[in-house]
Structure 1
């Protein structure tokens, strides 16, 4: 009967019994604290190894008031951008001797779930928070700032109480707009994601609109909705217009949206970029492959992750109104999805 039972993990009480010392002596010995002679320390270590004792890092951290963990909220880990950003955060944290405790969604993360996730991370006594979400408003995050250093990574966030590291969306939009107008496009559409669905992509879209206007063309703005078929429907509508009025280029809010737009163009018997040029945004694997050759704005994801972790760890206590905002420049990738407009465009 006993063979079917799961073996109980050894505790410091078991070590104390085997080593013939008190529990407090075992605790001090394992934590390498004073008040324990070398022979006792060695005996405790030998018993712990023989019993297969594994330190409870979280409990140890609570005693020392340090857990060496950073809490990370990732809105949608299935999105390549967020997946790469989480990897960059974990890599930098490890370089600095910290672990990452992450809570992630898969695209259906509701606002209430994200708020609860932040409270859950804080309950684990993390020493800092990194929020990677295009939906959670600053007002939902700032209450945590006075408890632990908190940074938003991957989206423009200029709240004076909340640190942030992000790609310069305005500059990225300007690079893409200049690329299209430089090719000769004068009838350009922008697929705009509503603010209620994504703070990041909404600001990205408005930046595209502003930069196109500054360059000359008046953009055709198409607001998307929450339905999965919103990009194909929007592109169908744009391409159904008379040739004299139809757009010759479409600026998409992401590389994933670009692929959906490309499928729609091809379904209508048209070609990219022969009939219509398409641009995306993000520039991360797997969609960054030269096999696809997307014209996009590559975000500096490794640097965003590195700088976000450094901001969290280097700020012992947030000070009212002085939160740093690090704006990093992205890189235009001129691929095969853009070309000069057709002669009839």
Structure 2
């Protein structure tokens, strides 16, 4: 295996000059730089990137904290972030917290111990006061999740408005007993969705009923359980707002297996416009988040903070959502088609 000494010998230059070229330092003529690059190519020499990073105190690595990668929304978010980060010469590591406060704090230690340059929080279960001290070690940016009292950049959509729009749609389909289904620990994001749901109900003269609220559903299996709960305990429910297309898909699948007709017997709204929402029969009405735009902006904002520390204000970037109306809520008597 070739060494830096071999490169210096083949190029006819000093080891110091070779090191300057490897670390992209000045004071090397173009002619010498080209000789060194040619020698490296001829020898198949690959610089030790880890050593370079240690010398520069930069890891060129970003940590993204999220609940679970099996959720397609977060999978798509990470894919877009990795693509954008690579354009800047950065890599992304994924840290699944599984909504554990301890895991979240453990992963934040990566910033404190200089194993990553910055952190993107796609979710948050700890109190902000416990996370804020980590800003002394590097930049943190919210993406998807957001918190009014946090003084850092935030990239997200308006979840309150999205939940409001989805609920208004159910109400316009003559749903009056609507079950509110969410999952995971309560966060600022989940509270905003609930506020939007309640606001829509109130505008139709209805009130939020705690017995129509389910707060433990996060996947397809949970969606199936939600249906059986409705069937056995809440048969008067005629509409469901879910915080996930996975939950909506499980609910719809199980309803069909029990000879319920969707949406005539039960109108269902999902969230995130995952692929499963199109594959289901009937297709699932859902809220689409601008994942690619949010991911790109988050990475850009974080890297700009790394390049220009303290130069950027903690702005909030709010992106529009879209309610995609499909067959899980289009009741025949109201359909114009």
What are the Cα deviations for residues 20-74 of structure 1, in whole angstroms up to 9, with x where unaligned?
5443221013334344455543443232222211123343344445554433334
Range 296-305 or range 111-120, more displaced: 111-120
1:274 is matched with 264
- 2:320 pairs with 1:329: yes
Residues 35 and 297 of structure 1, relative CA distance in 2, 3 Å threshold: closer
Q: Is the 8 A contact 2:245 2:276 kept in 1?
A: no
Which protein is richer in helix relative to its size? 2
- 2:33 pairs with 1:41: yes
1:158 is matched with 148
- Which runs of no fewer than 5 residues in structure 2 stay unpaired? none
1:313 is matched with 303
1:31-70 matched pairs, under 5 angstroms: 31-37=23-29, 40-64=32-56, 68-70=60-62
Residues 136 and 335 of structure 1, relative CA distance in 2, 3 Å threshold: farther
Q: Which TM-score applies when normalising by structure 1? A: 0.81
2:93 to 102, 113, 137: 102
Work out the CA distance in 2 between the residues paired with 1:23 and 1:34: 15
Name the SS for the 1:102 alignment partner: strand
- 2:244 pairs with 1:254: yes
Residues 338 and 100 of structure 1, relative CA distance in 2, 3 Å threshold: same
Work out the CA distance in 2 between the residues paired with 1:31 and 1:307: 29
Work out the CA distance in 2 between the residues paired with 1:283 and 1:126: 32
Work out the CA distance in 2 between the residues paired with 1:227 and 1:64: 42
1:4 is matched with none
1:338 is matched with 329
Work out the CA distance in 2 between the residues paired with 1:46 and 1:307: 38
Q: Which TM-score applies when normalising by structure 2? A: 0.83
What are the Cα deviations for residues 185-207 of structure 1, in whole angstroms up to 9, with x where unaligned?
111111243535x6544542443
Range 296-305 or range 43-52, more displaced: 43-52
Residues 29 and 224 of structure 1, relative CA distance in 2, 3 Å threshold: closer
Q: Is the 8 A contact 2:104 2:126 kept in 1?
A: yes
Offset of residue 273 of structure 1: 0.8
Work out the CA distance in 2 between the residues paired with 1:274 and 1:291: 14
Residues 83 and 59 of structure 1, relative CA distance in 2, 3 Å threshold: same
Offset of residue 173 of structure 1: 0.9
Residues 35 and 311 of structure 1, relative CA distance in 2, 3 Å threshold: closer
Offset of residue 233 of structure 1: 3.6
Q: Is the 8 A contact 1:57 1:67 kept in 2?
A: no
Q: Is the 8 A contact 2:99 2:184 kept in 1?
A: no
Work out the CA distance in 1 between the residues paired with 2:164 and 2:204: 9
1:146 is matched with 136
Work out the CA distance in 1 between the residues paired with 2:63 and 2:259: 48
2:284 is matched with 294
- The aligned length equals 329
2:198 is matched with 209
Name the SS for the 1:145 alignment partner: helix
Work out the CA distance in 2 between the residues paired with 1:193 and 1:291: 24
